[in-house]
Amino acid sequence: MPSILVTCYSRTGKTKILAESIGKGAKEVDGIDVDVLAFNRVSASDLVRYDGIILGSPVYFGGVAAELKEFIDDTTFVRGKLVGKVGAAFTTAGDRTGGKETAILSIVQAMLIHGMIVVGDPISPEANNDEHNGGHYGLAADGQLTENDLRQAEHFGRYVATVVSRMC
Ligand SMILES: Cc1cc2nc3c(=O)[nH]c(=O)nc-3n(C[C@H](O)[C@H](O)[C@H](O)COP(=O)(O)O)c2cc1C
């Protein structure tokens, strides 16, 4: 059965909450195994087992947290083994203009270097414009998480899982 891993570095828990909502949405898609794993339980070599990989980090100084960067750097040892897998990224920030897109793009950049097929965060047909966060390159939220952020995260998870199920 196709499988998806959702994991993220999270120091104060916000990004982890998004990861859980992404996982919840992904689990709604039939025929996909979804693991939402704590960051300290995942090593770069585990990624090889999954068809879809959804990685997240808080924004730290406009980029990803050093812990997530270290994890990404470790994936050099599985270079060539992630080709053709589906990838997606998410982040949380303190501020509205806090660097969410640059953080997401640095995750996406690594995924592209691995030859992964990156899925963005298209506007949900169910959401009205006031509600939508406009992730564009991946899922993003800032400030206190709202019900809408969590709904959007579930939608993102469902969407990535749907793409994985179509491709596998
Ligand atoms: C070292 C550090 C750097 C940060 N840099 C930024 C930043 O550049 N922009 C921003 O909006 N928030 C920044 N923040 C705030 C975090 O991105 C934000 O609180 C995030 O939601 C925390 O996620 P977590 O609860 O998963 O750890 C920073 C926080 C820390 C600790």
Q: Which CATH number belongs to the domain containing residue 137 in this structure?
A: 3.40.50.360
Q: What is the pLDDT of residue 58?
A: 98
For residue 8, the enclosing domain spans 3-167
Q: How far is the CA of 89 from the centre of ligand 1 (A)?
A: 16
Q: How far is the CA of 38 from the centre of ligand 1 (A)?
A: 19
How many residues comprise the chain? 168
Q: What is the pLDDT of residue 131?
A: 57
Helices 66-74 & 100-113 angle (0-180, nearest 10): 10
- Other beta carbons within 10 Å of 94: 12
pTM for the whole thing?
0.96
Residue owning the nearest CA to atom 31 of ligand 1: 60
| Ordered per-residue pLDDT tens for the chain, 168 residues | 999 999 999 999 999 999 999 999 999 999 999 999 999 999 999 999 999 999 999 999 999 999 999 999 999 999 999 999 999 999 999 999 999 999 999 999 999 999 999 999 987 666 565 555 557 899 999 999 999 899 999 999 999 999 999 998
Encoded tokens for 110: 């690594």
Maximum pairwise Cα distance, the chain:
43
Encoded tokens for 9: 């570095």
Q: How far is the CA of 64 from the centre of ligand 1 (A)?
A: 9
Q: What is the pLDDT of residue 125?
A: 61
All residues at 6 or more sequence positions from 50 whose CB lies less than 8 Å from its CB, including other chains:
3, 4, 5, 35, 85
Indicate the number of domains in the chain: 1
Residue owning the nearest CA to atom 29 of ligand 1: 60
Q: What is the position in ligand 1's atom list of the atom closest to the CA of 62? A: 8
